[in-house]
């Protein structure tokens, strides 16, 4: 297992190239964050994990087939990996970060374009929501209609003489 590549995998590079092409700027494998996310977009406060279906036990995925040898050991290993992944995502959320998981099977040619477009859409939505929430949260309490001060007088007819 020491020969297993953990950084700069083909799925990671596919996602990074697409994001860069779309104008996103990011950091890779940021060690200061829990779980060392594969891609970190600070501006969007989002950490992206590009997970291999086998190593992270992607349930219901045709790419994920548990080994037939040492079944008990592999089951425990994959369960530990899943628990660690869930814990890391929760730690990041507690720190105010958004998290995304992109599975290896979602980057196969048939689904790749739709997956990557969806990632961009989610990043843009996250940014807009966080920006507008910060900008448009009023610094003063909103007044009800009855409480609003009157700024106009009663209508008067100027220059009209009543007989």
What pLDDT was estimated at residue 67?
Answer: 84
What pLDDT was estimated at residue 2?
Answer: 47
Range(s) of the domain holding residue 122: 10-134
Tell whether 126 is covered by a domain: yes
User: Does 134 have pLDDT greater than 90?
Assistant: no
Tell whether 115 is covered by a domain: yes
Tell whether 103 is covered by a domain: yes
Tell whether 161 is covered by a domain: no
- DSSP notation for 50-106: EE-TTTTT-TT-TT----SSSHHHHHHHHHHHHHHHHHHHHHHHHTT-EEEEEEGGG
> Per residue in 87-113, pLDDT tens?
999 999 999 999 999 999 999 999 999
If one counts the domains in the chain, the total is: 1
CATH at residue 29? 3.40.960.10
Residue bearing the bigger pLDDT, 60 or 141 = 60
Tell whether 124 is covered by a domain: yes
Tell whether 153 is covered by a domain: no
> Per residue in 31-71, pLDDT tens?
999 999 999 999 999 999 999 998 898 988 887 888 889 99
Q: What is the pTM of this model?
A: 0.76
Q: Find tokens 């008067």 and name the residue.
A: 156
CA proximity to 51, closest of 66, 71, 36: 36
Q: Any idea what the Cα angle at residue 7 is, between residues 4 and 11, rounded to 5°? A: 95
Tell whether 140 is covered by a domain: no
């Amino acid at each position: 297992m020491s020969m297993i590549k953990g950084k700069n995998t083909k799925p990671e590079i596919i996602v990074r190239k697409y994001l860069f092409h779309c104008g996103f700027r990011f950091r890779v494998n940021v060690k200061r964050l829990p779980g060392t996310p594969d891609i970190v977009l600070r501006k969007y406060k989002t950490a992206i994990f590009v997970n291999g279906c086998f190593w992270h036990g992607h349930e219901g995925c045709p790419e994920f087939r548990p080994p037939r040898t040492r079944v008990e050991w592999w089951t425990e290993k994959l369960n530990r990996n899943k628990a660690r992944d869930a814990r890391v995502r929760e730690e990041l959320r507690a720190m105010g970060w958004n998290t995304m998981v992109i599975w290896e099977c979602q980057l196969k040619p048939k689904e790749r374009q739709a997956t990557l477009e969806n990632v961009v859409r989610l990043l843009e939505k996250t940014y807009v929501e966080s920006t507008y929430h910060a900008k448009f949260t009023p610094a003063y309490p909103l007044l009800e209609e009855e409480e609003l001060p009157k700024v106009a007088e009663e209508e008067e007819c100027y220059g009209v003489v009543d007989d």
